[in-house]
């Protein structure tokens, strides 16, 4: 067993188009995750984020903002003969809870992010999972 397996760290795309009226955005990507972080202004207060999971296959998106409750959606993409077409998926419906192994994978592959940002994202995902589990228990 190879103990020196490399981790596919998220890398920041520094060429993100910025629109001043929309605040400031940061974009991180690797082969499994895509993370977009929104700030009210450059160097300003965090406004929210969208964490996309399982890129290129059954993609899901977890979104959190300071003025909106969390949501987890499934991407409806076009797949024919086992191949996904190059098109923008449409987010629909509420996705399932995010699995613990995906949370740990994110924590590992997001080691390149500032630790407070990484832990905030994990905290919001875990809180969503707990709230979702509590909601199911009441039905």
From first to last of its 139 residues, the chain has per-residue pLDDT tens of 444 578 999 999 999 999 988 899 999 999 999 999 999 999 999 999 999 998 666 778 888 999 876 554 444 444 444 444 444 444 445 667 889 999 999 999 999 999 999 999 999 999 989 988 876 544 4
Tokens of 36: 């977009």
d(CA 127, CA 139): 19
d(CA 83, CA 115): 36
CA distance between the termini of the chain: 45
Q: What's phi and psi for 56, nearest 5 deg?
A: 70, 0
d(CA 52, CA 40): 21
* 3-state SS class at 43: coil
Please say whether the beta carbons of 98 and 32 come within 8 A.
no
Q: Per the confidence metrics, is the pTM higher than 0.85?
A: no
């Amino acid at each position: 067993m190879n103990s020196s397996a490399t981790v596919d760290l998220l890398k920041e795309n520094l060429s993100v188009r910025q629109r001043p009226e929309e605040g400031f955005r940061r974009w991180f990507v690797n082969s499994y995750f895509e993370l977009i972080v929104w700030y009210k202004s450059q160097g300003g207060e965090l406004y929210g984020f969208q964490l996309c999971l399982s890129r290129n296959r059954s993609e899901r998106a977890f979104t959190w903002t300071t003025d909106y409750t969390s949501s987890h959606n499934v991407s409806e993409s076009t797949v024919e003969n086992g191949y996904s077409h190059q098109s923008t998926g449409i987010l629909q419906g509420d996705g399932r809870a995010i699995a613990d192994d995906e949370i740990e994978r994110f924590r590992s592959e997001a080691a390149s992010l500032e630790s407070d940002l990484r832990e905030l994202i994990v905290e919001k995902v875990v809180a969503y999972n707990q709230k979702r589990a509590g909601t199911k228990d009441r039905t």
